[in-house]
Amino acid sequence: MSNVKIPPVLRQAVGGERVVQADGATVGEVLDDLCTRHPAVGAQILTSDGTLHKYVNLYVNDEDARLLQWTDTPVGDADTLMILPAMAGGAR
Amino acid sequence: MSPSYQDLLAAAREVIPEVEPSEVAPRVAEGAGPLIIDVRETGEWDQGHLPGAVHVPRGFLESRVAGVAHDLDHELLISCASGQRSLLAAVTLRDMGYTNVSNLAGGFARWKQNNHPVEVPRILTPAQRSRYSRHVLIPEVGEEGQLKLLDSRVLLIGAGGLGSPAAYYLAAAGAGTIGLVDDDVVDESNLQRQIIHTTDRVGVNKGESAKEAIRALNPEVQVNVHPFRVNRDNVLDLLSDYDVVVDGADNFPTRYLLADAALMTRTPLVHASILRFEGHASVFMPYDGPCYRCLFPEPPPPDLAPSCGEAGVLGVLCGVMGNVQATEAIKVLLGIGDTLAGRLLIYDALGMTFTELKVRRDPDCPSCGPNADLQLRDYEAWCAGVGSHDHEAAGAPA
């Protein structure tokens, strides 16, 4: 069971939580479980064929999953997965 | 009988070798001379000193010398006006364990009489010294750093949530020239967070409004108001005129435009973005670290990237993140400390946590990678295109 940090724009899709838990031995499995538990998240971060949108950054603890093994990166109970889309806000 | 001043000098001459200006001048000219410590008072130093000398007033010698001479066997040449204060200072340094200490015979006066070159330091005016005294006291800033800040030029994109606190503090810090790019006018709903504006300036251009606040705070700061939106046609000219750019924009097309233009003009880019209770910040040093597009190759679609105007933002969050930007801009300008280059700082105000993620250069980055074909594009169209393609097909709620 890994912790998944949810960005502000997806919190509504998980009932307002900032951190939720999901099962899986890899990043991909944790995401699958997350999207099963919270289908509204899947609708936002997955393409129609079930792969991740390019604008979704994933971090395992403080490391970019793209530089690890992407969705095959192994995760354990102590690991935190962070979903991080860019934010635009600044001026207005 | 207690020793007189003359006795003290005579005793000092027994143990401290004296060097004539003509003996050491050739080495000083080559930059291969000893470390010269000038122990005169600040007013004397300001009139001129030996080239390359460091200034440690006699009264601070014991407490500050370790900061300029790290090794006890460092070759030191001590100078003052006529060679007497420095002679006694040299004895003190010898007593502190420095093994290679000489005295400049005849001091600065004889050096100057012999027509050796003199450096006259650029100095803060008495008013500046008073205004920036808390900066001058910091070893990493000091008078030299403050002069550097006064010479520096910072461009702020947006004088809103992030730009307000950033511009205000940069002006207070004495960043000499501040450019403000904003085509918007102050609205009542801005005042919950955009602290550089005021109720009586509602309806005024944000750059003009900020200029007024800055004039009241620190009149010596030159404020350039650019009352338009940054775009493909003006961005390169704008950035070329500044040393660092602070991105406080409110939309992705502008952010990607700035990211590419910062690479093209090799301008350090200080990034922050905010939403609700959360802030991101980083520093992008062109070709010397990741760029914005290494971090975020593509923008999210509009419904996943609402603006603060749509989704809200905690007012005080802007103060924290805008001042993270001001801090990083000052560090970049002074070349001190470790900036956020290579790191993304995430501030979660609800949890009151600061998290850091590693950001690395993407070898395939379409903006800064070795095979990148970097040119300014239609960022509005590009952001709309990449954001919408098969996101719509996924049937996500708009």
DSSP assignments along B362-377, one per residue: -TT-TTTSTT------
d(CA B50, CA A15): 70
Q: What is the pLDDT of residue A90?
A: 66
The mean pLDDT value for A24-28 works out to 95
Q: What is the pLDDT of residue B306?
A: 79
**What average pLDDT does the structure give for chain B?**
93
The mean pLDDT value for B282-302 works out to 94
Which option is the CATH number for A2-85: 3.30.2350.10, 3.60.150.10, 3.10.20.30, 3.40.50.410?
3.10.20.30
Q: What is the pLDDT of residue B308?
A: 78
The mean pLDDT value for B325-338 works out to 98
**Would you tell me which residues 54-83 of chain B have a C-beta closer than 8 angstroms to some C-beta of chain A?**
none
pLDDT > 70? residue B8: yes
Whole-angstrom CA distances from B101 to B41, B59, B90, B105, B233 are 20, 18, 6, 13, 60
The mean pLDDT value for A70-75 works out to 95
**Within an 8 Å CB–CB cutoff, is residue B300 touching chain A?**
yes
In B, which residues are within 8 Å of A43 by CB distance?
Answer: 394-397
pLDDT > 80? residue B98: yes
Q: A50 vs B37, which has greater pLDDT?
A: B37
- High-pLDDT (> 70) share of chain B, %: 97
d(CA B179, CA B172): 15
Rounded to a whole number of angstroms, the distance between the first and last alpha carbons of chain A is 39
- Confidence at B254, pLDDT banded by 50, 70, 90: very high
Taking an 8 Å cut-off on Cβ atoms, the answer to whether A86 and B394 are in contact is no
> Taking a C-beta distance cutoff of 8 angstroms, is the pair B16, B103 a contact?
yes
Non-local CB neighbours of B385 within 8 Å, separated by 6+ positions: none
Q: Which of B230-244, B280-294, B295-309, B348-362 has the lowest mean pLDDT?
A: B295-309
What b/e sequence results for B285-321 when a residue is b if at least 16 CB atoms lie within 10 Å of its CB, and e otherwise? bbeebbbbbbbbbbbbbbebbbbbeeeebbeebbbbb
The mean pLDDT value for A62-83 works out to 94
Q: What is the pLDDT of residue B301?
A: 84
Q: What is the pLDDT of residue B392?
A: 38
ipTM, two decimals: 0.92
**Within an 8 Å CB–CB cutoff, is residue B138 touching chain A?**
no
Nearest CA in chain A to B184: A92
Question: Residue B178: phi, psi to the nearest 5?
Answer: -125, 120
The mean pLDDT value for B355-383 works out to 94
| Tokens representing residue A14 in the block | 């998980």
The mean pLDDT value for B342-365 works out to 96
- Confidence at B398, pLDDT banded by 50, 70, 90: very low
Q: Tell me B188's DSSP state.
A: G
**Within an 8 Å CB–CB cutoff, is residue B246 touching chain A?**
no
| Tokens representing residue B19 in the block | 């060097």
Q: How far is A2 from chain B (nearest CA, A)?
A: 18
d(CA B299, CA A85): 8
Whether B308 is catalytic is yes
Structural domains of chain B sorted by starting position, each given as residue range(s) with its CATH number in brackets: 5-113 (3.40.250.10), 152-388 (3.40.50.720)
**Within an 8 Å CB–CB cutoff, is residue B319 touching chain A?**
no
pLDDT > 60? residue B388: no
The mean pLDDT value for A5-24 works out to 93
The candidate with the shortest Cα–Cα distance to B227, out of B268, B188, B179, B193, is B179
**Would you tell me which residues 94-133 of chain B have a C-beta closer than 8 angstroms to some C-beta of chain A?**
none
Q: What is the pLDDT of residue B394?
A: 34
Q: What is the pLDDT of residue A48?
A: 86
Phi-psi bin for B77: left (phi > 0), alpha (psi -120 to 50), beta? beta
Taking an 8 Å cut-off on Cβ atoms, the answer to whether A55 and B359 are in contact is no
Angle at B153 between CA B150 and CA B155, to 5 degrees: 140
> Taking a C-beta distance cutoff of 8 angstroms, is the pair B249, B166 a contact?
no
The mean pLDDT value for B258-278 works out to 97
**Among B308, B365, B368, B383, the one annotated catalytic:** B308
Domain map (residue ranges) of chain A: 2-85
- Confidence at B122, pLDDT banded by 50, 70, 90: confident
